[in-house]
Chain A
């Protein structure tokens, strides 16, 4: 990373695409899942901060970026508009934690984090996009940064050194 890199923040239930050398940053993925896509030839990348696995369980969808089944295809489309080729895209995932462990099992039935991971993997597979790395699960939050210059994804976790996937 150098100081000339432009940082672009991706908020919760948002997705953004950018050209090299922009850093796409999303802060505080808990049970949400972050999906980073990158085209090594076109040097463009995209990052989505997804809240829920499946939009089909909701009668009304206001924001496509909120759901894994809609956000990932939309992210691909936006990257293609920016010159990416779908078959070259590589994916990295982070997040999908379970932050709270309720002692009463009936409350934990939603298991949102785990379902976010599973659906994100499935959608990528259906789109034919290769999943090259992931840092998922656990009971802690993550900040995820995609470096569109080299496709590296940096993960920040409280109390641990930053790692690269």
Chain B
């Protein structure tokens, strides 16, 4: 099966998957930071690798990216990307500090963000597993804090995704009060796609 043959029904099903998973992740995040975190309606689609960057920001912008690899019957990757200010704000919120206290990431705050990625990924996958009856196992996450271009391209390449075009399900988390802006990407592998769609009763 080629990505390109996805029908609107397939894409709607994938958006719904994104909705369920990201909804749980947003709830988990809200509880963690004790503030209402909102999310955009998820988008699903096949896009050119080079177009992914502009969905998030400028290539030279500083971002923190937590990546988890998903194994099991529907393998893929999950990426959680935060701009620099949001990463610092989330650390402050999780540690109960005044917003603006954290000004740089060190080993401790990096582990904190990795753990945040772990919790969000876990919430996302649990919801997804329940909806599809497929067992999905996340890896221990890895974090990079650097230029968006370097981080995002490496997240795909080092995770073993080499395609010209990739299927992504993405949403944006945000909070107006403390200006948290995060992007959440689910990048299923080709074989995962058919497994997920079949589990939802769709033929491919």
User: Is residue B147 within 8 Å, beta carbon to beta carbon, of the partner chain?
Assistant: yes
Min CB distance, B84 to chain A, in Å? 10
| Min C-beta distance of A102 to chain B, whole Å | 5
Alpha-carbon distance between A19 and B102 when the two chains are bound, in angstroms: 45
* B155 near A63: Cβ-Cβ < 8 Å: no
Residue of B62, B140, B150, B160 near A99 (CB, 8 A) is B150
The 0/1 profile, CB within 8 Å of A marked 1, for residues 44-66 of chain B is 00000110010000011010000
Among A22-30, A71-79, A82-90, A125-133, the stretch in contact with B: A22-30
| Chain A interface helix/strand/loop/mixed | loop
Contact of B154 among A13, A30, A52 (CB under 8 A): A30
Assembled-state Cα–Cα distance A52/B49 (Å): 14
A143 on the B face (CB < 8 A): yes
Closest chain-A Cβ to B76's Cβ sits at a distance in Å of 13
With contacts A27-B149, A30-B146 known, is A12 near B50, CB below 8 A?
yes
Give Cα A32 to B144, complex, Å: 15
The reply to whether B149 and A103 form a contact with Cβ atoms under 8 Å apart is no
Q: Does A101 contact B (CB under 8 A)?
A: yes
A108 at interface by CB-CB < 8 Å:
yes
| Residues on the B chain within 8 Å of A30, using CB | 144, 146-147, 149-151, 153-154, 157
| B69 interfacial by beta-carbon distance below 8 Å | yes
Q: Is B94 an interface residue (CB 8 A)?
A: no
Summarize B's interface: helix, strand, loop or mixed: mixed
- C-alpha spacing A125/B60, complex, angstroms: 32
B157, A141: Cβ atoms closer than 8 Å:
no
**Chain B residues within 8 Å of A143, by CB:** 60, 147
Known: A27-B59, A28-B148, A31-B154. A102 touches B162 (CB 8 A): no
How far is A107 from B62 in the complex, measured between Cα atoms in Å?
Answer: 25
**In the complex, A122→B164 CA distance in Å?**
25
- Is the interface on chain B under 10, 10 to 19, 20 to 34, or 35 or more residues? 20 to 34
Looking at the complex, which one of B49, B53, B142, B159 makes contact with A101 (CB distance below 8 Å)? B142
Contact of B147 with A97 in the complex, beta carbons under 8 Å = no
Tell me the A92-148 residues at the B interface (CB within 8 Å). 97-104, 107-108, 110, 112-113, 139-143
Q: Find out whether the CB atom of A28 lies under 8 angstroms from the CB atom of B157.
A: no
Nearest-neighbor residue (CB-CB) of B67 within chain A: A100
| C-alpha gap A154/B143 in the complex (Å) | 27
Minimum CB–CB distance for B24 against chain A, Å: 24
Q: Does B30 interact with chain A (Cβ within 8 Å)? A: no
Whole-angstrom CA separation of A74 from B50 in the bound complex: 20
Indicate if the CB atoms of B162 and A141 lie closer than 8 Å.
no
Which residues of B (33-89) have their CB < 8 Å from a CB of A?
Answer: 49-50, 53, 59-60, 62, 67, 69
Add 18 more A-B contacts to A32-B154, A52-B162, A107-B160 (CB < 8 A): A12-B53, A13-B49, A27-B149, A30-B150, A30-B153, A31-B153, A31-B158, A32-B150, A32-B153, A52-B157, A99-B144, A99-B154, A100-B67, A100-B154, A104-B139, A112-B157, A141-B150, A158-B147
| B residues at A contact (CB < 8 Å) | 49-50, 53, 59-60, 62, 67, 69, 139-140, 142-144, 146-151, 153-155, 157-160, 162, 164
What residues make up the interface of A, taking CB atoms closer than 8 Å to B? 11-13, 27-32, 51-52, 58, 62-63, 97-104, 107-108, 110, 112-113, 139-143, 158
